Structure 1
């Protein structure tokens, strides 16, 4: 695995876009550079859940600048993620196509719980290690993440659709603050938290930590105006509440340390924080300067140093869904060998492709835990929709597609936008499963897989085919299946080394 001395993380938040560049020294991360732009992406979300043109324009202009700063970075040294607004926007796919072109790197849309995991990872690496449990609260522009964990391990993660931008728009339009609106906002936030309060209330942790821009802004205002001697407190929030009601308009707030870019969303953020304190029994909250971006950097560091969270998730899923490990390993080993061969003729990132294929091989029978009938469909649904720490939505969809494609008609994939790389992974997995249908360590023939002119060619020993008629029949059926979707799969038997060379040359 390639080593990098510099990594970069981009957080496409619902309120702000942020870029963090860091230096790696002895598996530790040291900040080098950062950029931030207040985009208010959530503010551009229409009632029909579409991003409006103005918000897209602001976002794309920012990403163009980020792309300029990251010019020359290797692809594996950068990770960009989108959060709540891009999770819910119906035109997110079209926006992301333009965004990735300007940024120059892929953008992963992560689930709320994955966002929570990464936030905790970032916060925990900047705190003294302790076995005592901590509550971490991150109030973003469109969602709020809550985590209970100890040391570097999150034990409980939740995400709620409430953020400082969305609540400010909904309850405090044009910055107007009334007692009824503030009560309604706090009640709505408390309602969101109520069904999880039993697991996240104060008896379950010893320290509360705020990690978002909202938490930092509230703490700065409370301390600068002497409403609190440190961090966020119940008394401090009560005093700030009185100031909000007194001003009646966020634009008329006369508060030290309240920054202009935070002013329009302070009321919404306050209402959510007030609800967190009331519903979870928080009396005092300290502030962390770390969060999602730092979590992304540490997660990226783990990936390139072979401590990938996704590998641990796959192991957990294998255990949860009672997967036959020996069969999974057989399929993975053979599929990997087939991909290695065809990779000589197909343009792909072999390390990334082998990793994805390995995960698919390990999880291809997850659906058997539900039912034998259509187990590939059950498995694809599990992988595509479960909470899988470390995986983005895009990665889960791709993995689910491979699992869906492992058996049955290939026509179900024709409406998908698949390229040669995708078809190569699908064929490698299908062939490996076909060869090991007996679920035993059978002797395999010599074989070679190649790709040329829209055709896969598999050459293998004739004598093996003659001794394994069922396999020969299945290979012929597989060839017909590929022909049905307009892709060739030739089965080329050979008997001598010279015939093997001839088969390879003429395929």
Structure 2
């Protein structure tokens, strides 16, 4: 098993909410309330090291940093400035692009899917220029890892938008997700699971919580996300019985893929399991749980939900037709066909790690990237300042 623990990072963890209450975002947990939204090879760039942010700001701290996450289903951008040991979001963008549509059958990114993704990335490129971004990192995940034309698409993106996408490994994807959302983990004793349900893959990470960041004990990535799983099991039947049978097949595929991981982590189960999820699936189901008329990030990010409620909602949705699901608040047309696969993955995870409550995070890879960028930049500044002090004292000639 590869070690994907990041170097020690001295970030400020912030306060956690009491059980059953939502943790309200503010600038100290990396978000501004006005910001709105949501294994091939190793990482191409050296993993950035973090640093202590308890210091007076320097000039680059006033500048903007950006993170782009091009997934199998969504393209997301976050632009932020450092603030008091964390960051404040100044711009955000999210668009459903379905880059991995048809990938399970053809092994390639389709022309239409690439065009949709390029359209979203051009919007991101414009925002980077307008915000005068100081430092950015752009990553692509499972769809580009699996597609035999993934590298060619990366070159096209560079030529047409100027954005250089880094196809990260599943290891790096898991590490960034943990770094981006672990501060929302519920207080407790013993190891916990953080998971990320994506469009093309799902990552489960077993962590040992601790300051300043948790230690990763074990992890697993499987090629089942809401897009890949939906396409693999085939078109949704019209009758309820057929839909439920399809849903059962989905859950079994995911459970089978995680079987070895489930055996490895069984010894780590504490009397009270803790579970934190970051994905569109968990934020959508949390919105349904709250009965929201429309998505409200402030109400969802940091919420602690009874696991049984999430199971009940998942099973209810799996029996509905796509048309019936599309009429529900916070699901709509864009998620009506894919949410069932997300529900199946979530239920499989709850079978593996039967926690009584589920923490919900509307943050993940992008926030992890921003923390890494800012910390590495600050560390570089510290090194330069130390060198200047040595020179000024006459200790280096």
Q: TM-score normalized by structure 2?
A: 0.70
What are the Cα deviations for residues 44-103 of structure 1, in whole angstroms up to 9, with x where unaligned?
Answer: 425231101000110111111111111166786111000111111110111111112333
Contact 2:71–2:198 (CA under 8 A) maintained in structure 1: yes
For structure 1, the residue ranges without an aligned partner over 5 or more in a row are 309-350, 352-507
* Structure 1 position 276 matched with structure 2 position 349: yes
Tell me the residue number matched to 1:53: 111
Q: What value does the CA root-mean-square deviation take over the aligned residues?
A: 2.8
Residue 298 of structure 1: how far off its partner (Å): 0.4
Residue 81, structure 1, aligned to residue 139, structure 2: yes
Q: In structure 2, which of residues 250, 254, 258 is the aligned counterpart of residue 185 of structure 1?
A: 250
Q: 1:269 is paired with a residue of what secondary structure? A: helix
- In the alignment, which residue of structure 1 is the partner of 2:45? none
Looking at structure 2, the residues matched to 108 and 56 of structure 1 have their Cα atoms a distance apart, in angstroms, of 16
Give 1:40 shift: 0.9
User: Which of 284, 287, 292 pairs up with 1:217?
Assistant: 284
1:252 alignment partner in structure 2: 324
Displacement of 1:125 in angstroms is 4.1
Residue matched to 2:311: 237
**Could you say if the C-alpha distance between residues 46 and 124 of structure 1 is closer, same or farther in structure 2, counting changes exceeding 3 Å?**
closer
- Using the alignment, how far apart are the partners of 1:104 and 1:42 within structure 2? 22
Please state how far the C-alpha of 1:306 moved relative to its aligned partner: 2.1
Matches within 5 A, 1:24-63: 24-45=82-103, 47-63=105-121
In the other structure, the counterpart of 1:158 is 220
Contact kept? 1:6, 1:22, Cα under 8 Å: yes
The 1:270/1:243 distance shift into structure 2, 3 A limit, reads closer
User: Is 1:10 aligned with 2:68?
Assistant: yes
Residues 47 and 257 (structure 1), Cα distance of their counterparts in 2 relative to 1, 3 Å cut: closer
Does structure 2 retain, via aligned residues, the 8 Å contact 1:27–1:301?
Answer: no
Structure 1 length normalisation: TM-score? Answer: 0.55
| CA displacement 1:277-331 (0-9 Å, x = unmatched) | 11222332120122111001001112212289xxxxxxxxxxxxxxxxxxxxxxx
1:203 lines up with 2:274 in the alignment: no
Flag the structure with higher helix content: 1
The whole-number CA distance in structure 2 between the counterparts of 1:278 and 1:37 is 31
Decide whether the 8 Å contact of 2:67 with 2:136 is kept in 1: yes
Indicate if the aligned counterparts of 1:79 and 1:296 stay in contact, CA closer than 8 A: yes
Q: Distance in 2 between matches of 1:272 and 1:46?
A: 17
Distance in structure 1 (CA, Å) of the matches to 2:377 and 2:256: 41
The structure with the largest alpha-carbon Rg is 1
Find the residue that maps to 1:290 and give its secondary structure: coil
CA contact (8 A) 1:139 1:212 kept: yes
Q: How many angstroms apart in 2 are the aligned matches of 1:134 and 1:153?
A: 10
Please tell me whether the aligned partners of residues 104 and 232 of structure 2 are also in contact (alpha carbons under 8 angstroms). no
CA distance in 2, matches of 1:279, 1:159: 14
* SS class of match (1:262): helix
Matches within 5 A, 1:276-295: 276-295=349-368
Note if contact 1:250-1:267 (Cα within 8 Å) is conserved in structure 2.
Answer: no
Could you tell me how far 1:6 is from its partner in structure 2? 1.3
Aligned ranges for residues 459-474 of structure 1 at < 5 Å? none
